[in-house]
Amino acid sequence: MSTDKVQIFDTTLRDGEQVPGCKLDTHQKLVIAERLDNLGVDVIEAGFPVSSPGDFNSVREIAKIVKNATVCGLTRAVKKDIEVAAEALKGAKRPRIHTGIGTSDSHIKYKFRSNQEEILKRTFEAVAYAKTFVEDVEFYAEDAGRTNNEYLARVCEAAIRAGATVLNIPDTTGYCLPEEYGAKIKYLRENVKGIEKAILSCHCHNDLGLATANSIAGVVNGARQIECTINGIGERAGNTALEEVVMILKQHPYLNLDTGINTRLLYDTSRMVSEKMGMVVQPNKAVVGANAFAHSSGIHQDGMIKNKETYEIMDPAEVGVSDSAIVLTARSGRAALAYRSKKVGYELTKVQLDVVYKEFLIVADSKKEVKDEDIHQIMKTTNSGAQAVA
């Protein structure tokens, strides 16, 4: 069976930058955009050009420097937005306008004080207008997660008739269950007339911690683009984390879905975005967290020392982490202590290890983590006869 390409649409610089306190200046955005291009993302959503002169300028400068990826600008289904985005994207090798409108009952009723027929008309007009500027037009049906599937199919048909190349199906509020979101994508694939002319895209928010699972359910059911951000940053609880979906598809080759991302740059990219945005990566964050490859309980450490396969489902080097870590705590066993002692230069006999381990437990109970300098001190205190060999 041949492998299908899943396009990676990175929105760190748009949805990610909407996070309070994460605002970047143009220079910082350029550095990140360049890195995303090297990482191998297919699309960089560079900003929302009409939102401010600063964002317009950032999109324009990013459009000029990106070599490989498509550069995209967000708009509402509003003529002025589309004109401004088209202007900002002029210098791009591959420009894309991302336009759209809310389609759920609550968006139509409360946000637009409108009705379904009017929204269908605005969908068609916005895409058709964007097509007068660029060939590549993506349409988003905001709050598609809570939009009735039959109506959503009609919206998608209107967008396709107007020339949309990509249909974005956002779970804007992060409400869907994976089964439900997957079924939505399947429904659209099977019921939208002309669907073969467009790519279905997943844009999932993480309000209930399901963004990654929903995006994977989407591609398993036929979507071929995932919208995501580095470290999963984004509105409220964030977006789908790029590093998670990329590694899920890589570690499950039988899905026959590939992203083409240079995964060895993931860790560095995560740190770079975290540092520039001042947004700490939680230590237990999947794939790029400080503890993602750290083992601290005795049972796990013993297994890891015997064979890494026992507790690691991916090689840390594949995501750019130099090595797994055996962290010494009061839950660590003799195997871990012997392993770490050897790393700092002490080859312990079984008898010596017994002596040292007793003292180790006393030290470990008094602090969160036993470091290399503590090991040297323990060797001195116990007078175990262990000789530093290094």
Residue ranges in contact with ligand KIV by CB under 6 A? 15, 140, 142, 168, 170, 172, 203, 205
> From the CB of residue 233, how many other CB atoms can be counted at a distance below 10 Å?
23
Please list the residues that pair with 202 across neighbouring strands.
Answer: 169, 226
Report, in Å, the least distance between residue 173 CB and Zn ion.
10
10 binds Zn ion (CB under 5 A): no
For residue 81, give the nearest of 113, 110, 59, 111 by alpha carbon. 59
136 binds Zn ion (CB under 5 A): no
Report, in Å, the least distance between residue 69 CB and ligand KIV.
18
**Is the Cβ of residue 88 or residue 326 nearer to ligand KIV in the bound state?**
88
Looking at residue 9, its amino acid is: F
Q: Which structure tokens are listed for 377?
A: 């001190």
In Å, how far are 2, 10, 55, 247, 325 from 45, measured between CA atoms?
29, 6, 12, 21, 35
Report, in Å, the least distance between residue 203 CB and ligand KIV.
5
Report, in Å, the least distance between residue 354 CB and ligand KIV.
58
**Is the Cβ of residue 229 or residue 352 nearer to ligand KIV in the bound state?**
229
- For residues 352 and 385, give the distance between their C-alpha atoms in angstroms, rounded to a whole number: 7
Report, in Å, the least distance between residue 44 CB and ligand KIV.
15
**Is the Cβ of residue 18 or residue 382 nearer to ligand KIV in the bound state?**
18
Residue in the structure block whose two tokens are 């002309």: 194
> Using CB under 5 A, which of the segments 13-21, 93-101, 354-362, 363-371 binds Zn ion?
13-21
- Crossing angle between the packed helical segments 350-366 and 372-382, to the nearest 10 degrees: 120
**Is the Cβ of residue 139 or residue 357 nearer to ligand KIV in the bound state?**
139
**Is the Cβ of residue 9 or residue 124 nearer to Zn ion in the bound state?**
9
Report, in Å, the least distance between residue 233 CB and Zn ion.
11
Which positions from 299 to 328 touch Zn ion by CB under 5 A, shown as an x/- string?
------------------------------
- For residues 233 and 247, give the distance between their C-alpha atoms in angstroms, rounded to a whole number: 17
Could you say which of ligand KIV, Zn ion, none residue 95 binds, taking C-beta under 5 to 8 angstroms by partner kind?
none
**Which residue, judged by CB position, is nearest to Zn ion in the bound state?**
15
**Is the Cβ of residue 42 or residue 142 nearer to ligand KIV in the bound state?**
142
Could you say which of ligand KIV, Zn ion, none residue 9 binds, taking C-beta under 5 to 8 angstroms by partner kind?
none
45 binds Zn ion (CB under 5 A): no
Could you say which of ligand KIV, Zn ion, none residue 168 binds, taking C-beta under 5 to 8 angstroms by partner kind?
ligand KIV
> From the CB of residue 143, how many other CB atoms can be counted at a distance below 10 Å?
22
- For residues 137 and 159, give the distance between their C-alpha atoms in angstroms, rounded to a whole number: 9
Report, in Å, the least distance between residue 219 CB and Zn ion.
17
Report, in Å, the least distance between residue 205 CB and Zn ion.
6
**Is the Cβ of residue 134 or residue 141 nearer to ligand KIV in the bound state?**
141
Could you say which of Zn ion, ligand KIV, none residue 56 binds, taking C-beta under 5 to 8 angstroms by partner kind?
none
Report, in Å, the least distance between residue 170 CB and Zn ion.
6
Could you say which of ligand KIV, Zn ion, none residue 142 binds, taking C-beta under 5 to 8 angstroms by partner kind?
ligand KIV
Which positions from 15 to 44 touch Zn ion by CB under 5 A, shown as an x/- string?
x-----------------------------
Q: Where are the alpha helices (DSSP H) in 262-386?
A: 266-277, 298-306, 334-343, 350-366, 372-382
- For residues 248 and 374, give the distance between their C-alpha atoms in angstroms, rounded to a whole number: 38
Q: Mention every residue, 6+ apart, whose C-beta is less than 8 A from residue 255.
A: 219, 220, 249
Beta strands in the chain (DSSP E): 4-5, 7-10, 43-47, 70-74, 95-102, 136-142, 166-171, 199-204, 225-228, 257-258, 294-295, 325-326
Report, in Å, the least distance between residue 153 CB and Zn ion.
21
**Is the Cβ of residue 55 or residue 142 nearer to ligand KIV in the bound state?**
142
- For residues 203 and 211, give the distance between their C-alpha atoms in angstroms, rounded to a whole number: 8
Q: Which structure tokens are listed for 112?
A: 């637009």
Q: Mention every residue, 6+ apart, whose C-beta is less than 8 A from residue 371.
A: 328
- For residues 18 and 33, give the distance between their C-alpha atoms in angstroms, rounded to a whole number: 16
**Is the Cβ of residue 19 or residue 78 nearer to Zn ion in the bound state?**
19
Q: List residues binding Zn ion (CB under 5 A).
A: 15
